Amino acid sequence: MGLFDEIESTPASLPKKDNIKAIGFRAEADCVNWAVVTRTDGHLVLIKSDTVRFPNTYDEAHRLEWFRKRLHMTLDDHQPAIGGVRYPEPSAPKSNVTSTNERIRVEGIILEALASKGVKSMTGALKTISSEMGSKSAKSYLTNDTLRGLDWKGKPKNTREAIMVAVAAMEHAEKRSSHGN
């Protein structure tokens, strides 16, 4: 396995560089930030980003079911070739175990949905994302108004993380496709 823990859902090859569409996710206990990116003429393009807030009137099982259906619609709409999920840092404080467990379950729903739609998926904490992007600290991008020419001014921090995860997943897929993997 590479820098990301990769989960192969299908043996299909990915499209060439300018055609790869990637979706990135940054989960929280009560919502998920997601972003779809591609590269056109060598430039990063943000197709769409959003924050999906879970209905607080549902119990946990029904929130997850609701989110899974919404996620399937998003995947159907955007047809990504690869998806990335940003995991918490291994050294992150474990102060709120309930919130952490809820986030982990949401990330599991994301991985299951990607697999059921035949989308390759990768996971990683910020350190891993940094490595995929060839950066010493991907976290340092979060304070800038752009990410490699892509304007993300005004986007909240966790949406920026979702965008960054999508870019890292796309760059990982580009490396794999250029090596014939």
Confidence of residue 16 (pLDDT cuts 50, 70, 90): very low
- Residue ranges of the domains in the chain? 5-178
The string of pLDDT tens digits covering residues 64-108 is 999 999 999 999 999 999 999 999 877 656 666 777 888 899 999
Q: What residue has token string 């976290």?
A: 139
Q: Which of 100-109, 136-145, 172-181 is the least confident region?
A: 172-181
5-178 CATH choice from 3.40.50.800, 3.40.50.10300, 3.30.565.10, 3.30.420.10: 3.30.420.10
Strand partners, 33: 26, 51
* 76 contacts 60 by C-beta, under 8 angstroms: no
Rg (the chain; Cα; Å):
15
Say how far apart CA 92 and CA 103 lie, in whole Å: 13
